[in-house]
Amino acid sequence: MSKDDKTERAAIGTRLRLAREMAGLSQAQVAKMLSLHRPSVSEIEAGRRKVSAEELSKLAGIYDVKLNWITGLDTGENSKEDEKIKLAARQLAKLKPKDYDRVIHLLSMLRSNRRERK
Amino acid sequence: MNQRIALARKAAYEALKLRKSQNLQLWQAICVYDLAEELGLRVHFNAAPSMEGMYMNLSSPTIILSALRPVGRIAYTCAHEIGHHILGHGVRVDEELEDIDIDRLDSEEYTAECFAGFLLMPKIAVSHGFAKRGWDISACTPEQLYVIAGWLGVGYTSLIWHMSSSLKMIASRRAQKLVKVSLRKIRMSLLNKEVKDNLIVVDKEWFGRPIDIQVGDTALFEHDIGFEGNCIEPMRYSPQKRAYKAVLPGIGRCFSKRGKWAEFVRVSRKEYTGLYQYRHLEEPIDE
């Protein structure tokens, strides 16, 4: 595996950990949802285990975040949604800087179209 | 002032219409987060101290709530943000507010605030809560108000102000006196022991919504119960063995040993942050 591949895998792992924490889940809970052993989730987040496209898609669904955000392909300049986030950013400017960053970050991660409720 | 009355009426109408559309009876206590989910809203709890809540009309409409508030206040804020959604408002960010001066709110905020009150505390639900327990509203005690507020899922003072200013069920002077009674004192009087975290009183009239508590909270049952699950445990010092402490996130079921009453108990981590749908998820046991 090339150095670039390693770096990319580590970056994906980092974003997956962040998304999991933002969703309020533990590694054990995610492992159970995916029928994996807990260390597998830990390995994925550490960038030491390859994560399949199917697993990535499932994880994005569980965390309710954009798949493109996890893979790092989200440019953040593609839709009306981003315009709304910019509008929110103006209103959020009244918050403390740390809270502003936290909320903007969350909004930029969230999936636009959620699956229909079953 | 006439415009404010019109806005309040509109808010009440929309709140009651929403209840009707969701088959929620007017006398019923509701879980506002379950309602948000039913409406297709994404609810996210966030540790942002300087924010109360926000609503964003994204293609997946989203509510973000500060987890660092008392539970009744978070529920009220959620109802307020649902108000923005139902009333067709766009992006709304509500900053941290210690005391809301409702008369200084802009018209959208004022309407959403009234909407929240009428959604969570319709007059029929408040009257029903007192009548079913055989309590007289005109002579209600702080302890009785505390029990009703817990059942409705709102804060003690929110209930009093709503009963006074919106529902006209309590005179303003009396309301001012009642809100001065400390929660510590009320909890002490109900439990006979000081508790650091929240106390919720559950009686046989508790109906319509699950008993939602956080780890560390106490649930005081006014009758003997059986319990299925491991998220709450009986407290040792309780003389009648009816006080239970929330110990683990998860969902259990409590039921009356003598009657037909049963209800779900849902426990979340204290000051849970994350998506609402995972709030009561149990931690799996490592194999």
> Do B248 and B176 lie in a common domain?
no
Q: What's the pTM value of the predicted model, to 2 decimals?
A: 0.91
> Do B103 and B138 lie in a common domain?
no
- Per-position pLDDT tens, chain B of length 287: 678 889 999 999 999 999 999 999 999 999 999 999 999 999 999 998 888 899 988 888 999 999 999 999 999 999 999 999 999 887 777 766 555 566 667 888 899 999 999 999 999 999 999 999 999 999 999 999 999 999 999 999 999 999 999 999 999 999 999 999 999 999 999 988 888 899 999 998 998 899 999 999 999 998 788 899 999 999 876 666 589 999 999 999 999 887 789 999 999 999 999 999 999 999 997 65
Whole-angstrom Cα distance, residue B195 to residue A86? 44
Q: Which residues of A touch B41 (CB under 8 A)?
A: none
Whole-angstrom Cα distance, residue A95 to residue A105? 14
Tokens 């766009």, residue?
B90
Tell me the CATH number at B243: 2.60.40
Tokens 């309020």, residue?
A24
Contacts of A18 (CB under 8 A, 6+ apart): A109
Chain A to chain B Cβ contacts (< 8 Å): 93
pLDDT class of A111 with cuts at 50, 70, 90 = confident
Nearest Cα neighbor of B219 from B204, B205, B202, B236 is B202
Name the residue facing A91 among B93, B279, B284 (closest C-beta): B93
Q: Residue B284 domain-assigned?
A: no
Q: Residue B149 domain-assigned?
A: yes
Q: How would you class A11 by CB atoms within 10 Å of its CB: exposed for 0-12, middle for 13-18, buried for 19 or more?
A: middle
Q: Residue B257 domain-assigned?
A: yes
Whole-angstrom Cα distance, residue B141 to residue B151? 16
pLDDT at A116: 43
Number of independent structural domains in chain B: 3
Q: In this complex, do B49 and A96 lie within 8 Å of one another by their Cβ atoms?
A: yes
Nearest Cα neighbor of B118 from B20, B29, B16, B35 is B16
Q: Is A39 on the interface with B (CB under 8 A)?
A: no
**In the numeric block, which tokens belong to residue A52?**
């399949």
**In the numeric block, which tokens belong to residue B80?**
């307020």
B243-246, strands of its sheet edge to edge: B199-202, B218-221, B243-246, B232-234
Contact B80, B53 (CB under 8 A): yes
Per the structure, the complete domain to which residue B139 belongs is given by 124-181
Q: Is A26 on the interface with B (CB under 8 A)?
A: yes
> Do B38 and B54 lie in a common domain?
yes
Q: Which residues of B touch A102 (CB under 8 A)?
A: 46-48
Q: Which residues of B touch A17 (CB under 8 A)?
A: none
Residue A43 has, within 13 A of its CA and on its CB side, a CA count of 10
> Do B6 and B115 lie in a common domain?
yes
To probe the interface with B, which of A66, A94, A95, A104 has the most B CB atoms within 10 Å? A95
Q: Exposure pattern of B35-54 as b/e (b: 16+ CB <10 Å)?
A: bbeeeebbbbbbebebbbbb
> Do B228 and B273 lie in a common domain?
yes
Q: Residue B159 domain-assigned?
A: yes
> Do B228 and B171 lie in a common domain?
no
To probe the interface with B, which of A32, A82, A99, A104 has the most B CB atoms within 10 Å? A99
Contacts of B99 (CB under 8 A, 6+ apart): none
Tell me the CATH number at B80: 1.10.10.2910
- C-alpha distance from B196 to closest chain A C-alpha (Å): 24
> Do B132 and B218 lie in a common domain?
no
Q: Is A118 on the interface with B (CB under 8 A)?
A: no
Backbone angles phi, psi at B6, to 5 degrees: -65, -40
> Do B111 and B135 lie in a common domain?
no
> Do B176 and B243 lie in a common domain?
no
> Do B116 and B128 lie in a common domain?
no
Over residues A77-109, the pLDDT tens digits come to 556 777 777 777 777 888 888 888 888 888 888
Name the residue facing A87 among B91, B273, B284 (closest C-beta): B91
